[in-house]
A = this chain, B = another copy of it.
Amino acid sequence: MTSTEPTQPSTQPSTPPSLSGARPTRQRRAVAEALASFTDFRSAQEIHELLGSRGETVGLATVYRTLQRLADAGEVDMLRTEDGEAIYRRCSDAHHHHLVCRSCGATVEVEGPAVERWTGAIADEHGYFDVSHTLEIFGTCPACR
């Protein structure tokens, strides 16, 4: 039962995901650095725009390819919004979940060994292996009451 601080516009920098294996081209580095500049989930298109607004020109297709590669390599988390859009985020090394405010989007990272154990146990119980899970908690934050 732990947590970090809420992550509204938080813009503190961080270490970009490694390009493990891939050729370190200007474009790939740019995407990796962009990922380091935010902590919440962003869509490929948003990341593409972000790069554009910084003067880094990187083709949209390249952004998609790079994100996909990073996701495959486990360097970033990828998940789907309700409407099917893929969103990405560099993953902190620790596995965790999000408590998200429905109205303002304020996010708290939470983690709990209990859930991790539980999902593992459930999967085991049914013979499923190679298990992963997604869990998001939604609510209204104190500021929006």
Interface bracket on A: 35 or more
Given A80-B84, A86-B84, A140-B130, CB of A122 within 8 Å of CB of B99: yes
Residue pair A139, B135 in contact (C-beta under 8 Å):
no
Copies in the complex: 2
Distance of A108 Cα from B101 Cα, bound (Å): 29
The answer, yes or no, to whether A21 is at the interface (CB within 8 Å) is no
Residue pair A6, B126 in contact (C-beta under 8 Å):
yes
Distance of A126 Cα from B8 Cα, bound (Å): 13
The answer, yes or no, to whether A119 is at the interface (CB within 8 Å) is yes
A21 → chain B, closest Cβ, in Å?
22
Name A127's closest neighbour in chain B (CB-CB).
B142
CB < 8 Å neighbour of A130 from B132, B135, B139: B139
A2 → chain B, closest Cβ, in Å?
9
Given A1-B122, A122-B99, A136-B134, CB of A128 within 8 Å of CB of B110: no
The answer, yes or no, to whether A125 is at the interface (CB within 8 Å) is yes
